Amino acid sequence: MKVGLFDSGLGGLTVAKTILEELEGVELIYIADNKHAPYGNKTKEEILHYSIAIVDYLIVNYDIDALVVACNTATSAAIEDIRKQYKELAIVGLEPGIKPAIEQSTNKKVGILATPATLKGSKYKCLSLSLSKDYDAHIFEQACPGLVEQIEAGATDTQETIDMLDVWLSPMREAGVDTIVLGCTHYPLVAQSIKKVMGESVNLVETSKPVARRLLHLLEQRGHQNISQNSLKILTTGDIKEDMVTHILGKNFTVEKVTIE
């Protein structure tokens, strides 16, 4: 089965890595839309335009069977339209793992780190409000403008990045938050820096494994047999730091630059 994935940058490779670990016999085509990164400060209309162009590219050039929107921001802004327009595809999106975070929290004080666009999304707002009431939980939301750019530049553990995180996380630390949702696929790449600020005991929740399981379920419904070798092709619309690709995936991959209008 051919599976297309995309994100505004390299963060979605954290999802691709988990899929490669959890599934067998899949051909992954990953697109990093670095030309338009980050999505988190773009309008809903802009994100939708970029997303549709990428899906069209994947269908025309690779005849994909399934799509993973490996970006929380694009999922929030575009996945409903993508599902309406591409009914033939098996489609999986990402959403912040608020429910599992609340269930894992001891004191029901949960932090959400996400892009501004994700936190503004109506679907996120409804889910957050509903779950906080159902579980009598206190949710601390924090947008992290500029963090994606730091990660894309390879500055995952620099003092500048830690200082940025300290500003955002101090209120959570002082309030006793014990569980934090990493609501952007880039953010697992600064997990250790977050723990430096919050303490090693903080529980960090991200959603790549549930995404991989959901993808496997949808592919098996289409006749996929979970055997044989995997492959991964990485495409980018802009310039990237290839050593970050190696850092995320653990080995070297060739990166090809493409043009997507």
Q: Name the catalytic one among 3, 32, 71, 244.
A: 71
Tens-digit pLDDT profile for residues 30-48: 999 999 999 998 999 999 9
CA distance 208 to 216: 12
CA distance 225 to 213: 14
∠ Cα 194 131 147 (to 5°): 25
Tens-digit pLDDT profile for residues 213-250: 999 999 999 999 888 899 999 999 999 989 999 999 99
CA distance 216 to 234: 21
CA distance 8 to 108: 32
Q: Is 126 a catalytic residue?
A: no
CA distance 2 to 19: 12
Q: Long-range contacts: 123-130, Cβ < 8 Å, 24+?
A: 123/76, 123/95, 124/76, 124/95, 124/96, 127/95, 127/98, 128/98
Q: pTM, whole model, 2 decimals?
A: 0.93
Phi-psi region of 228 (alpha: psi -120 to 50; beta: other; left: phi over 0): left
Domains and CATH numbers, the chain: 2-94+208-257 (3.40.50.1860), 98-205 (3.40.50.1860)
What pLDDT shows up at residue 3?
98
Q: Is 144 a catalytic residue?
A: no
Give first-to-last CA distance, the chain, whole Å: 26
CA distance 98 to 107: 14
Name the average pLDDT for the chain. 95
Per-residue pLDDT at 261 exceeds 90: no
Above pLDDT 70, what percent of the chain?
100
Q: Name the catalytic one among 184, 189, 240, 245.
A: 184
- The continuous run of DSSP H or E covering 94 comes out as none
